[in-house]
Amino acid sequence: MHHVNKRVFWLVVAAILILPLLFDSIVVVPVTIQILISVILALSYNMVLGQTGLLSFVHAIYFGFGGFAAVHAIRFASDGDLPVPVPFIPLFGAAMGLIMAATLASFTARRTGMAFAMITLCLVELVIASGSILGRFYGGSVDRTLPPSFFGQNFVSDLSVYYVAVAWTVASVIAMAWYARSPLGRMANAVRDNADRVEFVSFNPRVIRFASLSASGIFAGIAGSLFALTYEFVGGETISFATSGNIIIMTFIGGIGHFSGPVIGAILVTLLQTLLGNYTQIWGLYLGFLFMSTVLFMPHGIAGLINRHLRFVQPGEWAKLFSPYLQLVISTVWAGIGFVGLLEMISYMNEAAVDEPILFLAGLQLDTSAVLPWSILAVISLTGSWFLRRSLKQAQLAFKAVSSSEEV
């Protein structure tokens, strides 16, 4: 586990605190809150997959039920039955996340590998199906301004919730970093690597897996609570397979097993969803390509790729990587232009009316009924793919040439 440098961490926290003062808060605040929620969620999932080695699909349940608990806590606080201000509402989400995680882990922790993954997959389906009989508990809408005020603050604006999210994110990241360094966190790594050896030295792997799963549920519940506070609504879709898949994608792209990996993945995926969603209807397809490329070419994620370069590239050898890496970037962009153009034209043809064949893309007008745009984009895609394959091989050879003999 590679830990976040403390100085860098607090510089990032300071930057986040002043971010709304430097940029348009109407745009920055909602996006940053979503990033913070995703960071907590991805880091908590890394406790399960990265540290303990368990591929789980139930993390969305902890997230969703944490949000449900926050919704009901806000309702009780609004009615005067619960004298708890908004900043402390995530405590109820954390408690619900712990309850759900501990309950499910009481029997799922007995299994590992594919059996564990299949059990969690079935549990998600069971919880989703139970919505038909537990509909009233499955969230709903609330008004976060009705609970008791906190030092005169009623949390009318998103900016006030922003600083609540920052505080809980900082606390959660510090707690999860501490857990990763704790004896229990290190034992979770040992169980991931060799459970039989852990059992041989008189430790129970099932208990360690149970503890990791339960701890991860706490932070996933906090993330769900922050979601409820931000959007003032939590629905049954929060415990869907799509939510579970999104959590896995964020963690994999960033890099499982690296503490900074899920943070990178959460930021990247959230920005892609937010920004691309404003310009294209098929942003999910691009995210899928990114995920597939990560699994194929960066199995340890972005953080793993960065870590390999920092560990194994000899001092003074970085200049030798500039040319092959620049060619790789250019060929990737060139191939991407072609494929994106083709995909957008196909998508436009599927949705647009027959008498509106013109697609406006990046300032260009592409006539989807003409042969020329299709031909040009096809040539760009094919030539870009050829150069990409060639430049990728050259970049790999260049890295091997400058890396130390310890590189594996």
DSSP string, 70-113: HHHHHHHHHTTSS---GGGTHHHHHHHHHHHHHHHHHHHTT--H
Buried b (16+ CB within 10 A) or exposed e, 287-307: beeebeebeeebebbbbbbbb
pLDDT for residue 405: 43
What token pair was written down for 84?
């708890």
- CA gap 101, 218 in Å, rounded: 8
Residue 272: how many CB atoms within 10 A of its CB?
Answer: 16
Q: Which whole number is the average pLDDT over 271-282?
A: 83
CA-based angle 367:370:372, to the nearest 5?
100
Average pLDDT, the chain: 88
The region of weakest confidence among 170-179, 342-351, 369-378 is 342-351
Residue 216: how many CB atoms within 10 A of its CB?
Answer: 30
Beta-sheet strands, E only, within 124-276: 140-141, 233-234
pLDDT range class, residue 249, cuts 50, 70, 90 = very high
Angle between helices 90-108 and 205-231 (to 10 degrees): 150
pLDDT digit string (tens) for 100-134?
A: 999 999 999 888 889 999 999 999 888 888 877 77
- CA gap 365, 357 in Å, rounded: 10
Are residues 397 and 325 in contact, defined by beta-carbon separation less than 8 angstroms? no
pTM value > 0.95: no
- CA gap 176, 48 in Å, rounded: 12
Say yes or no to pLDDT of 24 above 80: no
pLDDT digit string (tens) for 312-329?
A: 777 777 788 889 999 999
Angle between helices 183-193 and 158-181 (to 10 degrees): 70
Say yes or no to pLDDT of 184 above 70: yes
pLDDT range class, residue 169, cuts 50, 70, 90 = very high
Number of residues assigned to the chain: 408
Highest mean predicted confidence (pLDDT) among 94-98, 159-163, 255-259 = 94-98
Who wins on pLDDT, 8 or 390? 390
